[in-house]
Chains A and B, each alone.
Chain A
Amino acid sequence: MAGKPNYFDEMLGHNGQARAPYADYCDWFNGEDTARLLEKSEEAEALFRLIGVTFNVYGDPDATERLIPFDLVPRIIAAREWAKVAKGIEQRVRALNAFLHDIYHRQEIIRAGRLPAEMIARNDAFLPQMIGVSPPGDIYTHIVGTDLVRTGDDEFFVLEDNARTPSGVSYMLENRETMLHMFPELFSKIKVQSVSQYPRNLRRSLAACAPNACLGKPTLAVLTPGIHNSAYYEHAFIADQMNAELVEGHDLRVIDGRVAMRTTRGYKPIDVLYRRVDDDYLDPLNFNPDSMLGVPGIMDVYRAGGITIANAPGTGIADDKAIYSYMPDIVEFYTGEKAILKNVPTHRCSEPEALKYVLDNLADLVVKEVHGSGGYGMLVGPASSKKEIAAFRAKLEANPGNYIAQPTLALSTVPILTDAGLAPRHVDLRPFVLVSPDRIEITPGGLTRVALTDGSLVVNSSQGGGTKDTWVLEE
C-alpha cells in the first residue's frame, strides 16, 4: 500500500490536540510521572495473577495459564458518542433475534427474496433440531457481544455480531475493578458510567426467560467445559458474580423431563442454563455423539419446555460471516429501518465475481473463514508475505465458499503506556448486550481490545492482544 494511512487517534484526533472526552484525563496524565505509572502497571499484573484472571492456551502444555496484558490508559467515549452506538447495537440485536426466530420458523426473509435459501440450507451452523422450536420469551440471543471498530470521529462499523457465546465480560469487569483500585483519584475527578451492574442484570435477564416448567424462583447455572477450557476463569467468575452454580456435563442428567444437577442433597432441576459449551457438544444424543461435555437428552428437555438454554442452540448461524454480509438487509427487513451501524463491505467468495476481485486484490484485503473466530485461519493481506499470500490463495481457490473478504479498515488508535511514554495502538470494542423479553440492556463501554505491537491490526488475545478499561463518560 502506498504511504502510511492517516489513522484516527481517539485521544489526539487527527491534529494532535486532546479530544474533548480525553481532556480531563490528559490533564491528570500530564501531572503524572511515567515511572510511577509503569510501576502501577506491574502492580496491576501482580493483581491479575493473584486473582487468577488468566486464560489457557490450547496446545501449549508448558504455559497453561497466561495473563492477557492489561494497559492502564483507559479508552474514553463521550456520552453522546455512546448513545448513538448503543442505539445502533440495540437495533441490530433486535433484528438478530427476529431473524433467528424467522429462519427457524416460516423463513419469511427467504420467501421475500432478501436472503438466498442456500445461505441457510447449506449452512453447518443451522440446526434442523431447532425448526419450529420457540424458546421461552422468544429470546435466542440472551447475551451478545457486538464487535465494533472505529475509523473516525463519527464512524463506527460492526465487525462481528458474536451472538453465540461472546466471551470477555469478566475482563471488562476486572479491568474496571483494577482501575478503581489503582487510580481512585481519577474516578473522583472524572465521572465514568458504572459497569458493575452487569452480573445483576445478567441474572435478572436470564431469570426473566425461565421456562414454563419453572414454578418458583428460577434456578440458574453456568455450564462450563471445565477447568482446562481457555475461558474457565470467566465461567467461574460469572457464576460466582450472579450466584449461580458452575456445572459441567458430568454434574447433570435428565430426570423426569428436567435437567438436574447433582447436589449434596440429591438432584435438583435447573431452570435456566447459561451454557459456555458450543452447540456441537451440548447433547451427545442429538449432536456430536462423542461429546463428554454436554448432557445426553438436554435438547429433548429443551424442546419440551423443561429448561431454557442461553444462548439458544442454533444461534451460531448469526455469527456466520457470510450471513454477516447480509446484515444491512436483515436489519431493514425486520425493523423497517436503515441500519444505524454500518457493516464492513464484505465480498462473498462463493460468488464468482467477488472471488475474482478478491484473488486480484489479496494483498490489500482481510480474508476470513465464514465460521472462523479468534483471529485463527485468516489472512491480513497488507501484513503478509508473498509466500503467505500464495499459500492462502491456494486454500481460497480450493474452497471459495468457505471465505469472505473485507477491505483493511483504518482502525482507530488509542495510546498505550510503553517504557517510552504513550504510543498509539489499534483497538476494537466489544460491548456486552443482554436481551430479555421486556428489555435490551447494553453495559456502557465494554471490552476494548488492543493490538500491542506497533502497526498491528490483530487485537485477539489468542494472538497477543491486550485489553483496556473502557470509559463511557456521564452526560
Chain B
Amino acid sequence: MLGKTAGGLFWMFRYLERAENTARMIDAGLRISLTRSSAAESEWTSILSSTGLRDSYTAAHGAPDGPKIIDFLLRDPNNPGSIMAGIEEARMNARVVRTALTREVWEAVNECYMVLKKILAHPVQDRELPRVLQVIRQRSAFVRGALHGSMVRNHMYNFARIGTFFERADNTARILDQKYYILLPSVRLVGSPSDNVQWETILRATSTTRAYQTLHDGDFDPRAIAQFLILDGRLPRSLAFCYAKIGENLGFISREYDHPQTCDALAESLCAKFRAHDMNAIFDYGLHEFIGDFLRDSTTLGRQIEIDYRFIE
C-alpha cells in the first residue's frame, strides 16, 4: 500500500469522527441554551475552545452567540473546521484512497457528503437542528458500519481504525481539558447545583449520558465521571479504550509487516499509563497536567505514525 494511501485512510476517518464529535458538542450546547440560558454563553465558549476554533470564531464574529456559533460549526464556508468542511475533507481523502476502499465504504461516504451538502446548503432552522445533528451522526456511523461489514481485516482497515480512535481520544481529552476543574475532588464539597448541569454537559458532549447512568445507577459524581471518560475500558470513547484500540491496530500492522516500529513503543507506553494509574493517582498528579501530558504525547505519536508508515515524503 502507498504511504499516501495509509495517510488518506487515517485522515478520512479522523475527519469523519471529528464531524461527528462536533455534532455532539453542538447538541450539548443546544441543550444548555434551552434549559439554562444564563450558562449558555460560557458553555458555547468552552465548546469553541474544545473544537480548537475559538480564535477563528472570535476573529470572524466577535462575542459568543449561540445561533452564530451553531452556523459557524455546522457550515460556515469560511470555517475550515466546520462539519461540512470536515465531511468534504473526508470525502476528498476517500477519493484519493478510492482503490483501498470497498464500494460500500466509498458509497457510504459519498452519500454522507451528498446528503449533508443538501441539508447544510442553507442556515439550519432551530426546529430542524436536532434532526440535522442526528443525520450527521447517523451518516458518519453508516460509513463506520460499511467499513466493519465490508473491509478485509488488513493494514488498510487498521489505518482507518487508528484514525477513528486517534480523533476520538483527542476529542474526549479536549473536552476534559476544558472542564477538568468541575471534575476535581474538591468540587464535590462545594456541591453547587450548577455543577450537575456541567457534568451532564460533559457526558452529553461525548454522548455517554445513558451509558454512564447505566453503569453508575444514575449518580452524578465528578470522580466517577472522570474515571469513566479516562480509564473505563468498557466505554468506547474513553481514553483508555481508544488507546488500547490504537495499540492493537498498530500491533496488527507491525505483525503483518513483521517489522516493529517506533510508534508501537510510543503507543504502548501511553496504554501502560492508563493501565498503571487509578483516579487517585491521576488526581494526585493533577488532572489538568495529566490531560495536558496526554495531548502532547498523542501529538508525538501521531507524528511518529506518519513517519514510520511514510504518509508523506
Q: Which residues of A contact B (CB under 8 A)?
A: 49-52, 227, 232, 236, 239-240, 245-248, 250-251, 261-266
Contacts and interface: CB of A to CB of B under 8 A. Distances in A.
A interface, by DSSP: helix, strand, loop or mixed? mixed
27 contacts: A50-B110, A50-B114, A51-B103, A227-B96, A236-B98, A236-B99, A239-B99, A245-B1, A245-B5, A246-B98, A246-B99, A248-B4, A251-B3, A251-B4, A261-B2, A262-B2, A262-B3, A262-B4, A263-B2, A263-B3, A264-B1, A264-B2, A264-B3, A264-B155, A264-B253, A264-B309, A264-B310
Contact of A264 (B6, B92, B96, B114): B6
The 4 closest A-B pairs by CB, nearest first: A236-B98, A240-B99, A264-B309, A262-B3
A243 B6 CA distance: 17
B92 A263 contact: no
**Chain A CB within 10 A, most for which of B1, B2, B96, B259:** B2
Contacts of A261: 2
Nearest to A239: B99
B interface, by DSSP: helix, strand, loop or mixed? helix
A246 B103 CA distance: 16
Given A52-B110, A263-B3, A245 B99 contact: yes
A116 B166 CA distance: 66
A252 to B, nearest CB: 10
Interface of B: 1-6, 92, 95-96, 98-99, 103, 106-107, 110-111, 114, 155, 253, 257, 259, 309-310, 313
Contacts of B257: 264-265
Contacts of A232: 95
Given A227-B96, A245-B99, A264-B310, A51 B3 contact: no
B99 A49 contact: no
A250 B96 CA distance: 13
Nearest to A266: B310
Given A50-B110, A247-B2, 9 more contacts: A50-B111, A51-B103, A232-B95, A240-B98, A250-B4, A264-B2, A264-B257, A264-B309, A265-B259
Contacts of A263: 1-3, 310
B8 to A, nearest CB: 10
B114 to A, nearest CB: 7
Contacts of B92: 227
A236 B95 contact: yes
A42 to B, nearest CB: 15
Contacts of A240: 98-99
Contacts of B310: 262-264, 266
Contacts of B96: 227
**Chain B CB within 10 A, most for which of A52, A239, A246, A250:** A52
Contacts of B155: 264
Contacts of B2: 245, 247, 251, 261-264
Nearest to A245: B2
A264 B308 CA distance: 8
Contacts of B3: 251, 262-264
Contacts of A247: 2
A250 B253 CA distance: 24
Nearest to A65: B95
Contacts of B111: 50
A383 to B, nearest CB: 36
A10 B11 CA distance: 50
Contacts of A236: 95, 98-99
Contact of B95 (A52, A245, A250, A251): A52
Contact of A250 (B103, B110, B313): B313
Nearest to A243: B99
B78 to A, nearest CB: 16
Nearest to A47: B107
A291 B257 CA distance: 35
A224 to B, nearest CB: 10
**Chain A CB within 10 A, most for which of B98, B103, B114, B155:** B98
B42 to A, nearest CB: 40
A471 to B, nearest CB: 25
A51 B107 contact: yes
A272 to B, nearest CB: 16
Contacts of B4: 248, 250-251, 262
Contacts of A51: 103, 107, 110
B205 to A, nearest CB: 33
Given A227-B92, A262-B313, A264-B310, A49 B107 contact: no
A263 B159 CA distance: 13
A227 B4 CA distance: 13
Nearest to B98: A236
B106 to A, nearest CB: 7
A341 to B, nearest CB: 36
Nearest to B107: A50
Nearest to A236: B98
A347 to B, nearest CB: 44
B256 to A, nearest CB: 10
Contacts of B259: 265
Contacts of A250: 4, 313
B67 to A, nearest CB: 27
A239 B310 CA distance: 21
Nearest to B4: A251
A247 B98 CA distance: 12
A9 to B, nearest CB: 37
Nearest to A267: B310
A50 B114 CA distance: 8
A251 B5 CA distance: 10
B37 to A, nearest CB: 40
A59 B309 CA distance: 36
**Chain B CB within 10 A, most for which of A245, A250, A265:** A265
A393 B106 CA distance: 49
A259 to B, nearest CB: 14
A227 B99 contact: no
A251 B107 CA distance: 26
A49 B114 contact: yes
A333 B71 CA distance: 70
Contacts of A50: 107, 110-111, 114
A245 B5 CA distance: 10
Contacts of B253: 264
A50 B107 CA distance: 6
B106 A52 contact: yes
A199 to B, nearest CB: 12
A263 B309 CA distance: 8
A51 B108 CA distance: 10
A165 B18 CA distance: 40
Contacts of B107: 50-51
Contacts of B110: 50-52
